[in-house]
Amino acid sequence: MEAPPGSAGSRLAAQDAATHALGQARSLREAAPCALEALGRFMGWELGAMWVVDAEREQLRCLDIWHAHGVAAAAFSELSHQATFRLGQGIPGRAWAECRAIWVKDVAQMARSERVRNTASLGLRSAFAFPIELAGEVVGAIEFFSSDIRRPDGERLALIASIGTQIGQYIERDRAQRWALQSAALTRSVLDGALDCVVTIDGSSNVVEWNPAAARTFGHARDAMLGRPLADVLGPTVPAATGMRVPLTARRADGGEFPAEVAVTRVESEGLELFTVWLRDLSEQAEAERAMRLHDSALAAAHSGIVIASAQLPGHPIVYVNPAFERITGWKADEVLGRNARLLQSDDTDVNALTAIRGALEGGRSVEVTLLNRRRDGSPFWNELSISPVCDEQGTLTHFVGVQTDISARRHAEARIEHLIYHDNVTGLPNRAMFTDHLDLALARAKREGNAVAVLNINLGRFRLVNDSFGHDTGDALLIQTAERLRRVTRAADVVARTGGDEFLVLIADLEPSARGEDGDNLADALQIAQAIAGQIHHALRSPFDLDGSELFVGATIGIGIHPLDSVDREGLLRHATASVKSARERRSAVDRAPTLSGGDARHQLSLATRLRHALDRDEFVLHYQPVLDLSAAAMVGVEALIRWNDAERGLVGPVEFIPFAERLGLIGPISDWVMDTAFGQCRLWHDQGIDVGIAVNMPPVLWQPTLVRKLVAAIERSGIAPSRVTIEVTETAAMTDPDRTQRVLAELHSRGVQLAIDDFGTGYSSLSRLKQMPVETLKIDRSFVRDLPHDAEAASIVTAIVQLAKNLGIKPLAEGIETLAQRRFLVEQGCDLGQGFHFSRPVPAAEIPAAYQRFPRRRAA
Ligand code: C2E
Ligand code: MG
Ligand code: MG
């Protein structure tokens, strides 16, 4: 049963109801209607409203409305919820401002606001409002209206104050709750937004909070994790310790493990002990670290040397070098750190490269250069260096990174290839390609400056012979030695090239025009210089080559082409030089046609040639002398000097075997000089001993030159014998090969009083008219005719004819090779004046001539 309003019972009931409502409700919003109703009923009010202070806006706003049964409060409710009261405004505002209960006896008196007018229209007269207080501060207000005029008494006011306080407490709690909710939301948003996993566990290590990062990282949804032991995902190693960072390996939902770092904080909340586990996924960091390590090991493993220098410290000291740098340069890291990379430079480091580096360092630019550096031990290496500037995030230059590659091997290979393209690989001399390059340049220069250019074409004498008989290694050695000799006798500026098997070319450029001015003279100068050099080359190649342990004489033929004398272009010059080699060869081979050394192979010939070269020095030649007799008187009138070679290997070698060879070796000149001096000297000795003989020497055709006269006359003068006692023999063949020249020489000799004889007459094809013109004293009938005398009719008639012919021309016939008495008689019968042969005497050493002279004494004409 309900106590009447205002009674003590209803007061208690109201307080209980309010207290109960406030206690049960989960929020003020829930509690407000109960509290209003309890108060309204207890006080006998018909309409009420609860107002709370909105601290932010500094105003009261309506939280709830209550009305007694039958009161049409819809409009009031709407107006109330729209209304706000500032401090001191309206009835609730006054209660707030004055902090006490306000009673208005008749609201109609006020009737200022639509809301109050509305209450008046409802027949409500009196109004009452009281503040809701908490700790001396007004947090809200409650207002009531009634149709009666009801002035609250002291007891009711006390009750209202108590309930107000209670409601105040509730409002405060509500606020705190809201704040808590807000802060929880904040926390949640922090946790939700956190990159790290934030997991809250209770004392039993069961998950009570699991943020999105944790869900992302582990792949377990929040719902699935709440209440589960954390050990399920962190393994049994959940750290018990708090306040430390502990590394561990965590496991994702898919079973994959990842490195993590965990810290645990302890939280005490409402007597509960909770732990917040902060977990950071370190995979990315680990990845970054791995990349760094990879970086490091890449630097360490790099083939290229890497050197990092500070761009900010003075002197750009080295701050890092990798192992390849140490390998390439020989410098250890601790020896170079702090020093400038200049320590790799040397005197021959390219200045341009250094300038480029310096410019790049100063300008903070990158640069690539190739330069010759030195290792720690001083040995050089080609360094392909690229330097790049390194800037920090702010763009400030901090370091220089130099990457160096030792390209020495590549350089060598390139140089080698370059060398191969332009050089002969046997001798290392420039090849034809390089020679023509040089020649083109020299010709261009010569045309500009009016200089002459000479090209010498040098052909080795017996290269093929050496190659065939000694093998290619020896042939190569010969070429190499030839190259060395050519280099030695030419100037550094001259280009010596090997352009073929045994062909060498020498380019003599910039032959200066002489001051004499006339073109002809200039060119004569150039030609003279070229010839002088050719002479030196000749000389250089004439001395023996040391090959394969034996000495070989080789010699060379040299052709010369002069710009602009012979040609003005490259091909013309080369052609001319080659052609003059050929014609020189042909000239030589005309006299070379004589048989080579009998028997023996090429190799044998070659070693023989080498020995022959030395025969003069070693005094291995000897002269034998064969008496020449006046046939009818059987008196010795002269001797013919016949040379022999006392070869260490073969003993006495006859002239037929080595004279043609000596001619080809170019030895015949010196040999003939020796023969003349020896023979004439010997003759002089005989004369001194009273042995009155003439002396005949054989002169090979190659020597029939104007110089022969000079030499011969000099030799005769040296010996002191009369020129008329000297007979020079020239073979018929030789005399007729170049009759004009021979005739000129013969005439010259004749005028000096020297006697002349045609040797081996009958074997050649002499022209009788020529023979007539020649100032010849003696005609030596070849042995081949004498041999078949006297029985061979043909031989007999030939010999008879020759004897007759000679006599007709006023020339004395001399029969060679008389071996028998019958031959001798036949010849005497035919009127042949002179003869020689084994029948009288073989050629004998000089010492035996006095005895022969005794045997065939000359009778004084009576
Ligand atoms: P040649 O001038 O006709 O010399 C005569 C050759 O006949 C000599 O040979 C001589 O030994 C040989 N003879 C002489 N009487 C007889 C004989 O009764 N029967 C036979 N079967 N042979 C006889 P040798 O000494 O071997 O000389 C050969 C050739 O070598 C010479 O022919 C001459 O052309 C050349 N010769 C010799 N000595 C010299 C020299 O000092 N200088 C040059 N350039 N040639 C030389
Ligand atoms: Mg002779
Ligand atoms: Mg003869």
Which of 78-92, 382-396, 445-459 shows the lowest per-residue confidence on average (mean pLDDT)? 382-396
Q: Is the distance from CB of 235 to CB of 249 less than 8 angstroms?
A: yes
Q: Is the distance from CB of 516 to CB of 524 less than 8 angstroms?
A: no
Q: H or E element: which one contains 59?
A: strand 59-67
Tell me how far apart the alpha carbons of residues 476 and 498 are, in angstroms, rounded to a whole number: 12
Tell me how far apart the alpha carbons of residues 802 and 779 are, in angstroms, rounded to a whole number: 9
Residue-level pLDDT at 375: 92
CB atoms closer than 10 angstroms to residue 56: 6
pLDDT digits (tens, 9 = 90+) for 384-405: 888 888 887 788 888 888 888 8
Indicate the pLDDT class of residue 377, thresholds 50, 70 and 90. very high
- For residue 672, the ligand 1 atom closest to its alpha carbon is 42
843 lines ligand 1 (CB under 6 A): yes
Residue-level pLDDT at 580: 81
Q: What is the secondary structure of 145-170 as a DSSP string?
A: EESS-----HHHHHHHHHHHHHHHHH
Indicate the residue type of 333: A
698 lines ligand 1 (CB under 6 A): yes
643 lines ligand 1 (CB under 6 A): yes
Question: What separation in Å is there between the alpha carbon of 644 and the centre of ligand 1?
Answer: 10
Question: What separation in Å is there between the alpha carbon of 640 and the centre of ligand 3?
Answer: 10
626 lines ligand 1 (CB under 6 A): yes
Question: What separation in Å is there between the alpha carbon of 796 and the centre of ligand 1?
Answer: 22
What's 594's DSSP letter? S
Indicate the pLDDT class of residue 594, thresholds 50, 70 and 90. very low
pLDDT digits (tens, 9 = 90+) for 307-321: 888 888 888 889 888
475 lines ligand 1 (CB under 6 A): no
Question: What separation in Å is there between the alpha carbon of 612 and the centre of ligand 3?
Answer: 23
Question: What separation in Å is there between the alpha carbon of 716 and the centre of ligand 1?
Answer: 22
> What's the whole-model pTM score?
0.43
Question: What separation in Å is there between the alpha carbon of 642 and the centre of ligand 1?
Answer: 6
- Report the share of the chain in percent with pLDDT over 70: 88
Which of 94-103, 130-139, 331-340, 372-381 shows the lowest per-residue confidence on average (mean pLDDT)? 130-139
652 lines ligand 1 (CB under 6 A): no
Residues 6+ apart with CB under 8 A from 286: 259
Q: Is the distance from CB of 456 to CB of 506 less than 8 angstroms?
A: yes
Highest mean pLDDT among 146-160, 438-452, 603-617, 834-848: 834-848
pLDDT at 724 over 90: yes
Question: What separation in Å is there between the alpha carbon of 760 and the centre of ligand 2?
Answer: 7
pLDDT at 589 over 70: no
Average pLDDT rounded to a whole number, residues 700-718:
85
760 lines ligand 1 (CB under 6 A): yes
Indicate the pLDDT class of residue 251, thresholds 50, 70 and 90. confident
Whose alpha carbon is nearest atom 37 of ligand 1?
A: 642
Torsions phi, psi of 809, nearest 5? Answer: -85, 0
739 lines ligand 1 (CB under 6 A): no
Q: Is the dihedral of CA 702, 707, 712, 718 positive or negative?
A: negative
- Residue that is written with structure tokens 């306080």 in the block: 165
Highest mean pLDDT among 19-33, 228-242, 500-514: 500-514
Average pLDDT rounded to a whole number, residues 270-296:
77
Question: What separation in Å is there between the alpha carbon of 815 and the centre of ligand 3?
Answer: 9
Q: Is the distance from CB of 269 to CB of 260 less than 8 angstroms?
A: no
Q: H or E element: which one contains 216?
A: helix 212-218
- Report the share of the chain in percent with pLDDT over 90: 26
Q: Is the dihedral of CA 754, 759, 761, 764 positive or negative?
A: negative
Assigned token pair, 635: 């008196």
Whose alpha carbon is nearest atom 10 of ligand 1?
A: 843
Residues 6+ apart with CB under 8 A from 314: none
Tell me how far apart the alpha carbons of residues 539 and 556 are, in angstroms, rounded to a whole number: 9
Whose alpha carbon is nearest atom 13 of ligand 1?
A: 817
Residue-level pLDDT at 122: 85
Indicate the pLDDT class of residue 515, thresholds 50, 70 and 90. very low
Residue-level pLDDT at 600: 43
Question: What separation in Å is there between the alpha carbon of 780 and the centre of ligand 3?
Answer: 7
Question: What separation in Å is there between the alpha carbon of 283 and the centre of ligand 1?
Answer: 111
Q: Is the distance from CB of 694 to CB of 638 less than 8 angstroms?
A: yes
Question: What separation in Å is there between the alpha carbon of 759 and the centre of ligand 2?
Answer: 6
Hey, which of 620, 642, 789 would you mutate to test ligand 1's pocket, going by the most ligand atoms within 8 Å of its Cβ? Answer: 642
The number of the ligand nearest the C-alpha atom of 729 reads 2
Residue-level pLDDT at 623: 96
Euclidean distance between the first and the last CA atom of the chain, given in angstroms as a whole number: 216
CA nearest 826: which of 633, 631, 635, 630?
A: 631
Tell me how far apart the alpha carbons of residues 538 and 552 are, in angstroms, rounded to a whole number: 15
Indicate the pLDDT class of residue 777, thresholds 50, 70 and 90. very high
Task: Strand 197-202: give its sheet, edge to edge.
Answer: 207-210, 197-202, 272-281, 257-269, 246-251
Residue-level pLDDT at 455: 93
**Helix, strand or coil, per DSSP, at residue 786:** helix
Indicate the pLDDT class of residue 773, thresholds 50, 70 and 90. confident
Residue-level pLDDT at 404: 86
Q: Is the distance from CB of 626 to CB of 639 less than 8 angstroms?
A: yes
Task: Strand 503-511: give its sheet, edge to edge.
Answer: 495-498, 503-511, 452-460, 556-563
Higher pLDDT, 604 or 81: 81
Encode burial over 426-438: b for 16+ CB neighbours within 10 A, e otherwise: ebebbbbebbbeb
Indicate the pLDDT class of residue 618, thresholds 50, 70 and 90. confident
Q: What is the secondary structure of 635-693 as a DSSP string?
A: EEEEEEEEEEEEETTTEEE-HHHHHHHHHHTT-HHHHHHHHHHHHHHHHHHHHHTT---
Hey, which of 763, 816, 823 would you mutate to test ligand 1's pocket, going by the most ligand atoms within 8 Å of its Cβ? Answer: 816
Whose alpha carbon is nearest atom 4 of ligand 1?
A: 642
pLDDT at 167 over 70: yes
CB atoms closer than 10 angstroms to residue 692: 13
Highest mean pLDDT among 337-346, 593-602, 687-696: 687-696
Indicate the pLDDT class of residue 605, thresholds 50, 70 and 90. low
Which of 16-20, 319-323, 811-815 shows the lowest per-residue confidence on average (mean pLDDT)? 16-20
What's 123's DSSP letter? T
Tell me how far apart the alpha carbons of residues 243 and 145 are, in angstroms, rounded to a whole number: 61
Whose alpha carbon is nearest atom 27 of ligand 1?
A: 655
Residue-level pLDDT at 715: 95
Assigned token pair, 194: 């956190």
Hey, which of 698, 731, 732 would you mutate to test ligand 1's pocket, going by the most ligand atoms within 8 Å of its Cβ? Answer: 698
Average pLDDT rounded to a whole number, residues 475-485:
92
Question: What separation in Å is there between the alpha carbon of 857 and the centre of ligand 1?
Answer: 23
Q: Is the distance from CB of 723 to CB of 753 less than 8 angstroms?
A: yes
Question: What separation in Å is there between the alpha carbon of 641 and the centre of ligand 1?
Answer: 9
Which of 231-235, 481-485, 788-792 shows the lowest per-residue confidence on average (mean pLDDT)? 231-235
Residue-level pLDDT at 329: 93
Indicate the pLDDT class of residue 250, thresholds 50, 70 and 90. confident
819 lines ligand 1 (CB under 6 A): yes
pLDDT at 602 over 70: no
Residue-level pLDDT at 26: 65
Question: What separation in Å is there between the alpha carbon of 583 and the centre of ligand 2?
Answer: 30
Whose alpha carbon is nearest atom 5 of ligand 1?
A: 816
Whose alpha carbon is nearest atom 42 of ligand 1?
A: 698
Residue-level pLDDT at 7: 63
Indicate the pLDDT class of residue 237, thresholds 50, 70 and 90. low
- For residue 731, the ligand 1 atom closest to its alpha carbon is 34
Residue-level pLDDT at 500: 85
pLDDT at 69 over 50: yes
555 lines ligand 1 (CB under 6 A): no
pLDDT digits (tens, 9 = 90+) for 312-358: 888 888 988 888 899 999 999 999 988 998 889 888 778 888 898 88
Higher pLDDT, 449 or 298: 449
10 lines ligand 1 (CB under 6 A): no
Residues with CB under 5 A from ligand 2 (ion): 698, 729, 759
5 lines ligand 1 (CB under 6 A): no
Please work out, in degrees rounded to the nearest 5, the angle formed at the alpha carbon of residue 235 by the alpha carbons of 232 and 240: 105
Torsions phi, psi of 838, nearest 5? Answer: -60, -25
pLDDT at 456 over 90: yes
660 lines ligand 1 (CB under 6 A): no
Residues 6+ apart with CB under 8 A from 490: 496, 506, 508, 533, 537
Residue-level pLDDT at 817: 95
Residue-level pLDDT at 680: 96
Average pLDDT rounded to a whole number, residues 91-118:
84
Which of 400-414, 450-464, 467-481, 594-608 shows the lowest per-residue confidence on average (mean pLDDT)? 594-608
Which of 389-398, 571-580, 814-823 shows the lowest per-residue confidence on average (mean pLDDT)? 389-398
Distances (CA, A) of 75 to 51, 72, 82, 122, 334: 17, 8, 11, 10, 94
641 lines ligand 1 (CB under 6 A): yes
